[in-house]
Amino acid sequence: MAAIRGKNTKPELLVRRLLHRLGYRFRLHDRRLPGKPDIVFQARRKVVFVHGCFWHQHEGCRVSHIPKSRIAYWTEKLGRNVDRDASQKRALEQEGWAVRIVWECSVRRPHDLAQELQAFLGEPRFASRSAKAKTEWQRAN
Ligand SMILES: [Zn+2]
């Protein structure tokens, strides 16, 4: 289960693929930023974290339930993750970054997720550039 917490998890790859298809370009795991955000939109000053529902305790999500055995252990361990997430988010926001958490479970609804991400990020630069190129081409021809 340790792998779930690492970089390049399956939900993360799905989110990256989705963003790419929508026309966004981004950097990955920028270690200069607090919490080393999974996906970084430098020019927009926005970051996205893809969080596992269990490890990061997605509130109200059925995947996030703490196991019935060793409750004290898990409560403490997962509580530390939640605290760390919150302080990293605060640190990023203090540096002027907008932070968006994508929960693992939302990847199952890619259409909704795409709309949420577009609302957060704004117009993709790549798509708008190609639209501009198209109108210029139409004008020239
Ligand atoms: Zn969830």
CA 110 to ligand 1 centroid distance, Å: 14
CA 139 to ligand 1 centroid distance, Å: 48
CA 127 to ligand 1 centroid distance, Å: 30
CA 49 to ligand 1 centroid distance, Å: 13
pLDDT tens-digit readout, 28-47:
988 999 999 999 999 999 99
Name residues whose C-beta falls within 8 Å of residue 103's C-beta, 6 or more positions apart in sequence.
51, 53, 56, 58, 61
CA 50 to ligand 1 centroid distance, Å: 11
Higher pLDDT, 139 or 111: 111
pLDDT value at position 65? 85
pTM: predicted TM-score of the whole model, two decimal places = 0.82
| Two structure tokens written together for 84 | 């760390």
